[in-house]
Structure 1
């Protein structure tokens, strides 16, 4: 399964920028909306990298692949980017489900608002990494992503924001590749229920005080 994330830094654009690295002791099945390693497939590692406010690259997958190479990560993996300090990752566990969330709410919005506010004024990304200890079927993996999102929205609303998330939120759910696949991942299913509780708790804890962009904090 996944190790606890390790913290390291890279020097980029004049900053020592933090990133988190999870390694799997054996390949895991994943579903992800990440720039690198998105979709459904077998993955060996996860990276969640802070980027400064001055971030201007339009090739995030290539950038994350470069970072993975610098870290000596082999095989397929998942790469996430965020404007908040990944050192402030929040971890929660419920009934064997493990969740890690980096919570940036600098650009909250309603998913279906008719005229979204212009992006770019502040960075805000909620990245959520979930490990389920049992095999999920493909449909259950997709269902689990929906459950993560529902629990995230519940937490954001409880934080007092009329928002469903930010424009750049990402989700990664990982599980073993072996075993009888569970058919469901909804919030009342065997694994979806603890997943929802753990995600809700992590986002709620991470959103207290509304995390500001990492580089903005460094220049304050």
Structure 2
């Protein structure tokens, strides 16, 4: 089981910067595109860390590992970064599937367009964490990431934005290691359908309210 996230903070440059931490009561299967703990494997925690929009470290995985060590997070986990204030996390549940999203849509871009010469320094990154209460096959976990991404893109479209996401979005899906294995994670499958609804609702809600970069809040 994946816990509800705990809000904590770290001190950097004299500021208390927020962190969200999900803990588990045992190992979970996971798939993630996060900079720390990405790929397929067994994970024991998830960390979503706010960073200033000026963040330019070239070792995000090492940075996240250090934050995890400071929080006494043991074993393998997933680490995510965002310029959004993670206290603005949105949670939605559908048929037992839980989705959490921190939504920054200042730089939405269509996926299949030429890269601009430079991105404007506006808040970006949609980080999505999902817990499915049934064991998913490897193929279903991959499919679940696609379903979550489709649901996110649908929400962005419904918000009237001309993009499919931001250049730095990340998705993490976790499920139990035991039990009968579900083979599918598509949007019309037993678990993919509620996953799509929960992610869509979380991103739609999070994207439908003003979100400032966390660093801007310091000057507000």
Q: Which runs of 5+ in 1 are unaligned?
A: none
Q: Which runs of 5+ in 2 are unaligned?
A: none
Q: After superposition, where does 1:71-90 map in structure 2 within 5 Å?
A: 71-90=71-90
Q: Please list the CA deviations of residues 110-148 of structure 1 after superposition, one character each: whole Å capped at 9, or x if unmatched.
A: 111124362252230000000000000000000000000
SS in 1 for 2:36: coil
Alignment-derived partner of residue 57 in structure 2 = 57
Change (3 A) 1:107 1:204: same
Partners of 2:158 and 2:22 in 1: CA distance: 29
Residue 48 (structure 1) shift: 0.3
Partners of 1:111 and 1:6 in 2: CA distance: 33
Partners of 2:218 and 2:47 in 1: CA distance: 22
Alignment-derived partner of residue 187 in structure 2 = 187
Alignment-derived partner of residue 169 in structure 2 = 169
The answer to whether the Cα contact below 8 Å between 1:109 and 1:116 also exists between their aligned partners in 2 is no
The answer to whether the Cα contact below 8 Å between 2:9 and 2:18 also exists between their aligned partners in 1 is yes
Partners of 1:118 and 1:147 in 2: CA distance: 30
Q: Verify: 1:19 aligned to 2:25, yes or no.
A: no
Partners of 1:200 and 1:7 in 2: CA distance: 23
Alignment-derived partner of residue 199 in structure 1 = 199
Greater shift in the superposed pair: 91-100 or 210-219: 210-219
Partners of 1:120 and 1:75 in 2: CA distance: 37
Partners of 2:80 and 2:115 in 1: CA distance: 27
Greater shift in the superposed pair: 46-55 or 58-67: 46-55
Partners of 2:150 and 2:50 in 1: CA distance: 25
SS in 1 for 2:20: strand
Residue 14 (structure 1) shift: 2.8
| Backbone CA RMSD of aligned residues | 1.1
> What TM-score do the two structures reach when normalised by structure 2?
0.97
The answer to whether the Cα contact below 8 Å between 1:105 and 1:212 also exists between their aligned partners in 2 is no
Alignment-derived partner of residue 127 in structure 1 = 127
Residue 209 (structure 1) shift: 2.5
> What TM-score do the two structures reach when normalised by structure 1?
0.97
The answer to whether the Cα contact below 8 Å between 2:97 and 2:132 also exists between their aligned partners in 1 is yes
Q: Please list the CA deviations of residues 86-132 of structure 1 after superposition, one character each: whole Å capped at 9, or x if unmatched.
A: 00000000000000000001111111112436225223000000000
Alignment-derived partner of residue 142 in structure 1 = 142
Greater shift in the superposed pair: 162-171 or 203-212: 203-212
Alignment-derived partner of residue 38 in structure 2 = 38
**Moved >3 Å (runs of 4+):** none
The answer to whether the Cα contact below 8 Å between 2:84 and 2:124 also exists between their aligned partners in 1 is yes
Q: Please list the CA deviations of residues 12-45 of structure 1 after superposition, one character each: whole Å capped at 9, or x if unmatched.
A: 1232100000000010000000000000000000
